[in-house]
Amino acid sequence: MSAPPSAPRARDEANDATKGLLITLVALGHCAAAQRVWPWLHAGGLYDFHVLAFLLLPFLRPASACSTRVFADRAVRYLVPFGAFALLSAAVWHATLHPSVPWYALPLALIRGDVGALAQGVGFTFLWFMPCLLSLTVLRSLFAAARQPVRALLVLALLAVHGLLAGCSLPLPLNPLPALFALPLGWAVGALAPWQRGRWLFLAVALACGAIAGVTVDHINVASLSLPDWHAPDRLLLHDVYAVAATLAAVHFGSVLARVPGLVPIGRYSLVIYLSHQFVLKFIEFWSQHQPWYAASAGKIAVAAVAVPLSLLAGWGLARLLDRPQIRPWILPQTLRDWPVTARLLRPALDPAQ
């Protein structure tokens, strides 16, 4: 997921279209009405890769430089929108459905990195992604900065514990366990991407693994690592192959997807859409449940057909609003110096004229 650029620059439309497809699948997978009609969306299917793919896409580019300044910039870039939307979610959650939730539930969940407690405090689980993305960025940079013998040992260690991480829901600040879990899969994506020759082969593998996963694998939640663990290595391997193959297939068809109307602008603002789409989905779902026609499958399909595009459109509109120069630095800063809160503190050190 990507934030709006801080300055006009050439965009990779194929990459934006890929993100547009993925964020559309995320919204579809989070739509309760669609889940009730097509349970495989929630058990296997989309949940095997749609959000995880956003953690694998960065591996198509070199890792960030390993420096305190870079880490600080990334922390501001990911955690400021995370905090802003967490506070907004908590305010809406307390004001509407759960006013009895204690006020300290949100800060406690943020400090502990507890996905379950965060969902109770803000009403959604989707906010786990931003701290995890920061952890993934730091881990990739540290790995790239390590010397070759150390890298080899780290690769072997991560491959050894890959199955042990699955099923481990230990709360930790910045949610690093899903990032550690994603590292070997990201390396596979980065290594295989230049070698894609048979487009349809990757697509066939992804669809075949997805169909099998939808039947054999239970609900998969990367946020809390409720995945098949080393006790079921065949199902874990199936999940991993599907996640990698589906991500590669989506990337490989990026130039084709760029021709689909709407995917490029949606992907361009996928970060804000991700952080906001569940507000629309939850509101429509809450309203629909009180309608008599919602009990029928046709009613649920109609709700999904309206709710998913509307959540994308609302997120795109919000992103365009936040992209204004007067607002963007406060909510979507790109670097430590962009954020007004820290810019004033850093200006004397960064500006020799002062």
Domain boundaries, the chain: 13-346
**pLDDT of 8 over the 50 cut:** no
CA angle, corner 57, sides to 266 and 238, nearest 5?
A: 110
How large is the average pLDDT for residues 343-347? 72
Query: What integer pLDDT is reported at residue 230 of this predicted model?
Result: 67
Q: What percent of the chain has pLDDT over 70?
A: 83
Query: What integer pLDDT is reported at residue 100 of this predicted model?
Result: 66
Predicted confidence band at 162 (pLDDT cuts at 50, 70, 90)? confident
How large is the average pLDDT for residues 37-44? 76
How large is the average pLDDT for residues 268-287? 92
**Nearest partner of 277 among 265, 266, 287, judged by Cα:** 266
Q: What percent of the chain has pLDDT over 90?
A: 38
**pLDDT of 145 over the 50 cut:** yes
Beta bridge partners of 221: 226
* Cα(81)–Cα(129) distance, integer angstroms: 11
Collapsing DSSP to helix, strand or coil, 44 comes out as coil
Report the residue count for the chain: 354
Query: What integer pLDDT is reported at residue 327 of this predicted model?
Result: 92
How large is the average pLDDT for residues 231-259? 85
Please count the other Cβ atoms lying within 10 Å of the Cβ belonging to residue 276. Answer: 24
Query: What integer pLDDT is reported at residue 92 of this predicted model?
Result: 78
**pLDDT of 303 over the 90 cut:** yes
Query: What integer pLDDT is reported at residue 7 of this predicted model?
Result: 42
Q: Which of 3-7, 110-114, 119-123, 128-132 has the lowest mean pLDDT?
A: 3-7
pLDDT, averaged across the chain: 83
CB 331 within 8 A of CB 80: yes
Between 51 and 97, the more confident residue is 51
For residue range 184-202, what is the model confidence (pLDDT) as tens digits? 999 999 988 887 656 677 7
For residue range 313-330, what is the model confidence (pLDDT) as tens digits? 999 999 999 999 999 999
